[in-house]
Amino acid sequence: MLMRRVPGRLAPLLSRYGLILTAALLLYCIFQPAFSASDNLRAKGPGDDQSNVPKGVPEAPDLQAAGVPGQVPMEEAPRREKVYKPAPETYAPIEDPFPWLTANNKLPPILPNNLPPVPHVPEHTPLLIGFTRNWPMLLQCVASYIAAGWPADDIYVVENTGTFRSNKDGKLGLQNPFFLNHSQLKTLGVHVLTTPTLLSFAQLQNYYLHTAVQRGWETFFWSHQDVLVFSDEEVKKKDRDHDYQEDPYATLYERAVGLMRYLNEPDMPEWATHFFAYDHLTLVNRDAYLEVGAWDTHIPFYATDCDIYLRLHWAGYWQPQSEAGLIFDVSAPLDDVGALFRLPGSHATFQGDPVFADPGRPGREVEQDQEREIHAWADKEGETYQHLIAVAERMFEAKWVDEGIYRNTWQTKQSGGAGEPFYRDPAGFEAGIKTMIDAGRRVFADKWGHRGCNLIEMGIGVDDAWRLERDWDVSEGEGHLGGDWGKDWTGID
């Protein structure tokens, strides 16, 4: 029976002797490389038992004797004096960002007006928040979504630390940049998904899409971890469909759900993405992304967003934007995240607050007096909405005051963890990411023949991918990194 499936030309090979010969040859091919590799790895000593090597298997070639290039014997390698870089900057140890949670081990009370709808809305409304470094920033982000009214059970922190089970098993300490407290997230009622290895931004986005496919989510929200969100409690913007007689304001969640329903109405154009405050909070229509081939993982970080949003645009998808509440892009965590729940005794203060840190700030004394008054009030009553917003505005301001100092430092504030599993040098990790960011921009530039996101303005279209010569002056050298990397596609709608 078996013979019949073998193609005619191979059949004679499988005669009795042929079969034995083929099997022997096959076994040899499989095991030969393994034997020679293990041979090379093992230091040979006089008492070394080599009886596990079958007779007749040739000796592994002596690479050094054969003069294989690159195999310089150790004693002949040129020696250079090792020169060390200056010692990396160290920061003061960070403190528990949410002492109330550690002490009480339960979800703090949520303002009645911010409570999520019960029962849950019929649609799936998962919110994915990626995490690689800086636990205080993540906890602040997650806490702000919950305090603003996003159902905790819909929040999925995607742990992308590349430290395998270390966090789940409690093996990393608070000073380790990749530390994340699984039990505290569970206490808040949010889920944690762990990526199998450290993913780039583009890979992480594809992992979100994969997760959405696996779980049957046709749409999902995702958020950056360095944001601080609030529901618009002062109703600066009125939502069309909200019943203000019954309920004083629509929460961030209610408005986001309303927007999703609006986009899914039958006579709306095909849409791919809805941006709330650029992509700080984004609603994704899964199948649109899959249709255009998902994120280009050869552009690992910056510019990969331009690449996909342009491809979605060229494929005819609508990518509108609007507001659902207040979303601040911040560079520092609050000293006490409990302030977001307006817990008495939890204060909305942060390191680097320009009111205290900037001696040249106009009206600084008056502001400092106000801060002291609010401090006394919050000790008894908890923070007020107005003060939280004022502080969040200063946090946003501080992020942009001095781009070099504020913008990028939140990612590198923890510098401990030496000796813990999967330890990586924090500055080295940062350097590796920066190199990959540059590499991604180079890939983008070569893919579209242009250094920058403004492809539409340049008349470049989807069919031009990998077809165009570089449009920049190559005599400038290999500097792919100039160009206009602004978010040019955001005007599209």
Q: Contact positions toward ligand NAG, by CB under 6 A?
A: 102, 105, 173-174, 181, 183-184
CB of 92 to ligand NAG, least distance (A): 17
Q: Toward ligand NAG, which CB reaches closer, 413 or 451?
A: 413
| Closest residue to ligand NAG: CB criterion | 181
CB of 128 to ligand NAG, least distance (A): 22
Task: Let me know: does 308 contact 284? Beta carbons within 8 Å.
Answer: no
Q: Toward ligand NAG, which CB reaches closer, 102 or 322?
A: 102
| Closest C-alpha among 145, 193, 134, 106 to residue 413 | 134
Q: Rounded to an integer, what distance in angstroms lies between the CA atom of residue 341 and that of residue 144?
A: 8
| Paired tokens of 391 | 């502080």
CB of 467 to ligand NAG, least distance (A): 53
- The amino acid occupying position 242 is H
Question: What does the CA dihedral 13, 17, 22, 27 come to, rounded to 10 degrees?
Answer: 170
The vertex-49 CA angle with 46 and 51, nearest 5°, equals: 140
Q: Toward ligand NAG, which CB reaches closer, 420 or 430?
A: 420
Q: Rounded to an integer, what distance in angstroms lies between the CA atom of residue 257 and that of residue 248?
A: 17
For the chain, the distance separating the N- and C-terminal CA atoms, rounded to the nearest angstrom, is: 63
Q: Toward ligand NAG, which CB reaches closer, 136 or 325?
A: 136
Q: Rounded to an integer, what distance in angstroms lies between the CA atom of residue 167 and that of residue 189?
A: 17
| Element spanning 279, H or E | none
Q: Toward ligand NAG, which CB reaches closer, 167 or 219?
A: 167
CB of 125 to ligand NAG, least distance (A): 27
User: Can you say whether residue 483 is alpha, beta or left, with left for phi > 0 and alpha for psi between -120 and 50 degrees?
Assistant: left
The percent of the chain in helix, strand and coil, each rounded to the nearest 5, is 40, 10, 50
CB of 102 to ligand NAG, least distance (A): 5
CB of 238 to ligand NAG, least distance (A): 40
Q: Rounded to an integer, what distance in angstroms lies between the CA atom of residue 303 and that of residue 458?
A: 16
| Closest C-alpha among 247, 229, 226, 131 to residue 184 | 131
CB of 95 to ligand NAG, least distance (A): 11
Q: Toward ligand NAG, which CB reaches closer, 167 or 282?
A: 167
CB of 172 to ligand NAG, least distance (A): 7
- Give the single-character DSSP code of 403: I
CB of 105 to ligand NAG, least distance (A): 6
CB of 192 to ligand NAG, least distance (A): 13
- The amino acid occupying position 310 is L
CB of 150 to ligand NAG, least distance (A): 21
Task: Let me know: does 357 contact 331? Beta carbons within 8 Å.
Answer: no
241 by Cβ neighbours in 10 Å (0-12 / 13-18 / 19+) ranks as exposed
Q: Toward ligand NAG, which CB reaches closer, 90 or 183?
A: 183
How many other CB atoms sit within 10 Å of the CB of residue 167?
24
Q: Toward ligand NAG, which CB reaches closer, 104 or 386?
A: 104
Q: Toward ligand NAG, which CB reaches closer, 172 or 374?
A: 172
Q: Toward ligand NAG, which CB reaches closer, 141 or 199?
A: 141
SS3 130: strand
Q: Toward ligand NAG, which CB reaches closer, 346 or 454?
A: 346
Q: Rounded to an integer, what distance in angstroms lies between the CA atom of residue 488 and that of residue 319?
A: 13
Helix axes 304-314, 201-215, angle to 10 degrees: 50
